[in-house]
Each structure stands twice: as C-alpha cells, then as structure tokens.
Amino acid sequence: MFNKLVCSAEAVSYYTGKCVAWLTLAMMLITCLIVLLRYGFDIGSIALQESVLYLHAMVFMLGAAYTFKDDEHVRVDVFYRDFSASKKAWVNIIGGIFFLLPFTLYTAYLSMDYVSASWRVFETSPEPGGLPFVYLLKTLIPMMMISLIIQGTADILKNIGVVNAARTAKGQN
C-alpha cells in the first residue's frame, strides 16, 4: 500500500514538473518580446513584464516538489555523499520528519490568512496596466507547501522502505 501511495505522489510531482517546465520556454519568449517591443518599437507593457514574474513564480513554486522528487534540491552533502544507502535513508527520514514537514505545515498555515485576504478583495497589481491576478499568484504559496508535503511524505515512506530492505538483507546474511 505504501508503494502505491509513493508511486501516486511521485507521479503527480513528475507530471506537474514536466508541465511547469514548459513555462520556462514561455517565459523566455515573452522576455524576448518585451525586449523587442521596448528597444525595437519603444513600446512598454507592465502586464507583459509582470507575466514573466508570474511565470517565474509558477516554475519555482510548482516545480519544487518535482525537484525534491528527483533529489536535485540544494543539500550540503559534505558527509552525506559518502554515506551508505541505509544511512542516507535515515538522514532523509529524520530531515523529512523534523525539518521539511514542520516547515511546510507551518508555512502553509501562515500563508492561509495572507492568501485569503488577497482573495477577499481579488487583489490586483498596484501598477497601472498590471495584471489583475495577484490573488492567484499568492495562492501558489500554499499550493507549493501542499505539493512539498505530499512529496515529502512519499520520500519518507520510500526511505522507510530502503531502511527495511537493508535490515531484511542484513537478517538474511
């Protein structure tokens, strides 16, 4: 059952990450368009500039769980890289339980008032001609935390499986 949960969580992270990756192409194309319009035709657009910021936020926040799933997140691995698979799994379990999950749960909790206040007034850009979707942008904060909680839980379960497999292998030797 744990294996099915891990696979499901990782599939969600995988497909979200693959879809979000395409936003980097859109971000690059819009940036080129902004430069072309500004320097080629002396036309500026706050909405286009803000759209690049929105896309960047979406790539970072919605891609975080995918990055974590593939173990590509930032890690100080001075000692970790030389650990056995079992020791690495223990570090991942302890880090997930005592650091990742509390941080994400607390941040999700703190962001709820911030996001709901934005939704109550359908917050818009303070810039004239800016995008009217600040409330949607702020919604990415709890979405990121939820995706990291799901992926973090899957990672903890996967590492528990690694520790159990190592124990079983030791018991059979």
Dist. CA 125–CA 112, nearest whole Å: 20
Task: Write down the domain spans for the chain.
Answer: 2-172
Predicted model pTM: 0.86
Residue 173 has pLDDT above 60, yes or no: no
**pLDDT tens-digit profile of 123-169?**
999 999 999 999 999 999 999 999 999 999 999 999 999 999 888 88
User: CB-based contacts of 23: which residues, under 8 Å, 6+ apart?
Assistant: 55, 58, 59
Dist. CA 56–CA 92, nearest whole Å: 28
**pLDDT tens-digit profile of 46-98?**
999 999 999 999 999 999 999 998 877 777 777 878 888 899 999 999 999 99
Residue 147, token pair as written in the block: 């995706």
Tokens 């650990």, residue located? 83
**Closest by Cα among 68, 32, 50, 81 to 156:** 68
